Amino acid sequence: MNVVTPFEGIGASVKRKEDLRFLSGRGQYTDDINRPGQAHAYILRSPHAHARIKGVDTAAAAAMPGVAAIYTSADLAAIGGIPCGWQIHNKDGTPMAEPKHPVLAEGKVRHVGDPVAVVVAETRQQARDAAEHIHVDYEVLPASVTMAQAQAPGAPAVHDDNPSNLCYDWHIGDKAATDAAFAAAAHTVVFETTNNRLVPNAMEPRAAIGDYDTTTGEHTLYTTSQNPHVIRLLMGAFVLQIPESKLRVVAPDVGGGFGSKIYHYAEEAIVTWAAAKLGRPVKWTADRSESFMSDAHGRDHISRAELALDAEGKFLGLRVHTQANMGAYLSTFAPCVPTYLYATLLAGVYSTPAIYAEVKAVFTNTVPVDAYRGAGRPEATYLLERLVDVAAKQTGFDKVELRRRNFIPTDAFPYQTPVALQYDSGDYFSTLEQALETAGWATFEQRRAEAKARGRLRGIGISTYLEACGIAPSAVVGSLGARAGLYEVGTIRVHPTGSVTVLTGTHSHGQGHETTFAQLIADKLGVSIANVDIVHGDTAKIPFGMGTYGSRSLAVGGSAMDKAMDKIIAKGKRIAAHLMEASVEDVEFERGTFRVAGTDKTKSLTDISLAAYVPHNYPIDEIEPGLEETAFYDPKNFTYPGGCHIAEVEIEIETGEVRMVNFTAVDDVGRVINPMIVEGQVQGGVAQGIGQALLEGCVYDSHGQLISASMMDYTMPRADDLAPVSVATHTTLCTHNPLGVKGCGEVGAIGSPPAVINAVVDALRDYDISHVEMPATQEKIWSIIHGKR
């Protein structure tokens, strides 16, 4: 798909502008930054899942070489806790339980990895050396490790003032209508599953550097963040009480995020606070082992789903009960993930008329759980797409036909679901047919027979999915409990000679914004991408922004740029009209050229920008000099990418090993700006989805010790675990944003897990099973084949 068109605007597979610096080692990630005189922080973390802190003795450690300071929660008494950005209300209208999340543990530790003390020293090694001499007197308490344990009568309370360990008990949909649908059903199908807890593991571990200018009182935080303005807001307003004007947050090159770098973390507040306290920069960089116990984890649901069908296989109703693990504290977006990013997706691509979902969020003595690539939508899609396969098997309908029969018709858009969302566009039939064709669905049985002859069980699995991204209209998310708006900001600065600098509130950490966004500018303003620079990740440079997550950068951030370009063009037309002595209404603009309609009188964008900055011949009484415009774009709706994923696997009978042999993705991501980058995003998302389905699983033991605590034990997908992924797109345009784009960052991770598990279950069709839980590890499969279950 590496088609390079001579044009570098929308639709061209332009090579990435950012690649040269990354390929030559000149990227600048947070840990690459060193500030003059900087000290190093090491965080002493809890080795226990749950313990009371009876005392902390830092005297011996303080005397160690190189130690500048040691801090515990007593030193932080004046600062606030880490805020949660989303408030969910219970069924009865009361707000969710929202326990304090202290920066350093106060009185109790609540998960392995909970930060207890900070050592600041001249070197990282010295800080760590000294930390070993801090004596923490723990009274180890029994832990609520699983959600079942946490909800049992008399369970250890993660937070002493909340003995139920319940964060919220929430619901959505029409219960009575759903009950009625079940009463009238010809078939009912039940499916229960656990959506496995994952550790995000972006390749760059988190890092943070605090800096403080004693003369101006200005704080600077360099951090591995997907959204520096959000961090400034949360940390400045709620934790450290620093006004925005005195707090600069810089998120330089960031080595992957996948959600885990959205949240405001304790370490950011610690280094910012300590730098001011000590009057010198303080740097912290996580070891990978630390990442495992301090980065927010993902997924971790236990669900029961019931589907009611009529005699013809039409879905009549869907009932879902889900328990969602919050971990020990509420991470920034945690409460909205299993509610508004999950239950609202349960209609999927189907016209199910009645849906009712209940979600209980539970505190446990584990690392906090929050959004990870897909965030709620992979959990919903997995539940639904496995349920449909189970239903097909139970009722005897063909699994493809059953899906087709229940698709929302292509002419039914906009389509209002029973769970709040209104889909603007989609064409699930086309993506399905295209994927079936590409994957060779019709000829699969031949491949299965051929594999059998080699001692392998071959299976094929399908998932027809949809997701909601481009989050989202501020008024809507506000009514649902968000404590922030979710608009985006773009500034277009046309310089005197016509080159362009774009300031965006989104953040690129692998998505290639420096290229894609430049293509938007090239396409509309006619400026070569070589002359367009995209600036992001610095609150001192960018007016404002909400950052990058939920596949929103193009749909929301790109739309803001588009709106700002409209303003540039409008002003440019007025200047052009003056220069060409025409009326503004008669000036047209297309890709860099202003023209008086119907004439050959033209002015280039450069003519206009030069006139704007050197306003000698200029309507100075009517128009301000300069050519720079800012737009805030608040989306009108979510966007709804969707499509069809088909996985083909082979199982080694003797050992239970599952091998990916083929994967087909046909996705509708709206208008495609850079096909090469879209393909890369889908491939990467699918790899994470395959990882969840076959390899990855976060495991705690019964005491709350993290067993999968390093890459020695947590299976990260490697090159030889994966197979080539065929990626294609089929476009229907988003109807409510100016670019017609939907978003492609998460579709791979959302659509793929059920396709893979459906394939595994299909491969095992000769064995008496209806389901295999993720991850479908080789021992699990071997146990099924050899009857050891």
For other proteins, which is the closer residue by CB, 457 or 686? 686
Cα 507 to Cα 542: distance, rounded to the nearest angstrom: 11
| Pair 674, 13: CB distance under 8 Å | yes
- Is residue 766 helix, strand or coil? coil
DSSP state of 443: G
| Pair 368, 329: CB distance under 8 Å | yes
For other proteins, which is the closer residue by CB, 612 or 759? 759
Do strands 247-250 and 218-223 pair parallel, antiparallel, or not at all (unpaired)?
parallel
User: What tokens were used for 642?
Assistant: 């969707």
Cα 453 to Cα 385: distance, rounded to the nearest angstrom: 30
Do strands 282-285 and 39-45 pair parallel, antiparallel, or not at all (unpaired)?
parallel
For other proteins, which is the closer residue by CB, 511 or 637? 511
| Pair 758, 386: CB distance under 8 Å | yes
Nearest distance from residue 680's CB to other proteins, in Å? 5
Nearest distance from residue 651's CB to other proteins, in Å? 14
For other proteins, which is the closer residue by CB, 269 or 451? 451
CA dihedral angle for residue 729, residue 735, residue 738, residue 739, rounded to 10 degrees: 0
For other proteins, which is the closer residue by CB, 213 or 657? 657
Cα 377 to Cα 463: distance, rounded to the nearest angstrom: 13
For other proteins, which is the closer residue by CB, 528 or 783? 783
Nearest distance from residue 742's CB to other proteins, in Å? 20
Nearest distance from residue 684's CB to other proteins, in Å? 5
Nearest distance from residue 397's CB to other proteins, in Å? 33
Do strands 658-668 and 725-729 pair parallel, antiparallel, or not at all (unpaired)?
parallel
Nearest distance from residue 35's CB to other proteins, in Å? 13
For other proteins, which is the closer residue by CB, 32 or 160? 32
- Is residue 695 helix, strand or coil? helix
- Is residue 126 helix, strand or coil? helix
Nearest distance from residue 271's CB to other proteins, in Å? 18
Nearest distance from residue 782's CB to other proteins, in Å? 6
Phi, psi of 244 (to 5 degrees): -55, -35
Nearest distance from residue 583's CB to other proteins, in Å? 47
Residue listed under structure tokens 């992979």:
378
For other proteins, which is the closer residue by CB, 262 or 343? 262
CB-based contacts of 91, cutoff 8 Å, min separation 6: 169, 170, 171, 358
CA dihedral angle for residue 490, residue 495, residue 498, residue 502, rounded to 10 degrees: -20
Cα 600 to Cα 619: distance, rounded to the nearest angstrom: 23
Beta-carbon neighbour count of residue 447 at 10 Å? Answer: 16
Element (H, E) at 668: strand 658-668
Nearest distance from residue 134's CB to other proteins, in Å? 15
For other proteins, which is the closer residue by CB, 620 or 707? 707
Nearest distance from residue 125's CB to other proteins, in Å? 7
For other proteins, which is the closer residue by CB, 119 or 155? 119
For other proteins, which is the closer residue by CB, 136 or 359? 136
CA dihedral angle for residue 710, residue 712, residue 715, residue 719, rounded to 10 degrees: 120
| Pair 682, 748: CB distance under 8 Å | yes
